[in-house]
Amino acid sequence: MSARAGTTPAILLVVVGLVCQEIGAAIAVLMFDEVGPLGMVMLRLVFSSIVLLLVARPSLRGHSRAAWWAVVLFGLVLMTMNGLFYLALNRLPLGVTVTIEVLGPLVLSIVASRRASAWLWAALALAGVAALGGGGWDRLDPLGVLFAAGAAASWALYILVAARVGREFPKLDGLALAMTVGAVLSLPLGIVSAGDALLRLDLLGRGAAVALLSSTIPYALELIALRRLPAAAFAILMSLSPATAALAGFALLGQQLTPLQLGGIALVIVASIGAVRSSARAARKAAEPIG
């Protein structure tokens, strides 16, 4: 009973974080006409970096040149991932964009597992992606699909680089510094994209809200949840993000998906959960004593 009592609130924290993230994405879409996708990226990264710097107060001393290069690469990946994601959102429904983006960590998980069952989850994910076209990929903006695929590749790279930075910097220090690098790198294109809109306090306020909903609040809730949930259970819950994205797109943006597209999202979710469970079983077997 005590384990369940500790697990249930943690699950709710993850779900709330997912909902906040997709609400933030929906608000960002509504701002595209005024600041553009790249202007929105800049606002999100700038406000996120300010919050993280205030919370983490990272030390700038005692780090190697290799560690700083890892932070710079992490910041570049953050900017690229967010930029491609918002450029895709400008052309595709929220649910479709997030589903394609999830393929990045899914493929990384399948490749890392090196198990025969991984091919089953890969085939299932491929079927889901094929169904996303709703009967024909010509119904989806091809450039939007390309942007979403780039965001997926960036997310896989994000996982690898984040692990390196996490080893080099304590607590949130590496993330705060990398977010600052990403914010600085996003300034030129962001300023050109947003233009005079940056002088409007209401838009700046909404940009801050997107940063809080899309980055700060979900990250904080995930950190708390990870203290109470096994990593595999957490990963399975995160696999539900395409479903929450589709719901947010429908409820907040009026984006309707065909039954075939919804089926494709479901297949990708099932493939993600299957790959996570398979990797968890493999990790448990590897940890078992021989003999």
Whether 38 contacts 185, CB under 8 Å: no
Is the alpha carbon torsion for 213, 233, 130, 80 positive or negative? positive
Report CA 247 to chain centroid distance, whole Å. 17
pLDDT of residue 1: 40
The domain spans of the chain are 2-287
Give dist(CA 260, CA 263) in Å, integer.
5
Tens-place pLDDT, residues 169-203: 888 899 899 999 999 999 999 999 999 999 999 99
Share of the chain above pLDDT 90, in %: 51
What is the tens place of the pLDDT at every residue in 45-66?
999 999 999 988 998 888 899 9
What pLDDT shows up at residue 41? Answer: 96
pLDDT of residue 186: 97
Q: Encode the chain (291 residues) as per-residue pLDDT tens digits.
A: 444 545 778 888 888 999 999 999 999 999 999 999 999 999 999 999 999 999 889 988 888 999 999 999 999 999 999 999 999 999 999 999 999 998 888 888 777 766 777 778 888 888 888 888 765 556 789 999 999 999 999 998 988 898 888 888 888 899 899 999 999 999 999 999 999 999 999 999 999 999 999 988 988 888 778 777 776 777 778 888 899 999 999 999 999 888 888 899 999 999 888 887 776 665 566 555 555
Neighbours of 234 (CB within 10 A): 18
Task: Locate all alpha helices (DSSP H) within the chain, ordered by sequence.
Answer: 2-56, 65-89, 94-113, 117-132, 142-168, 173-194, 201-211, 217-226, 231-238, 241-253, 259-287
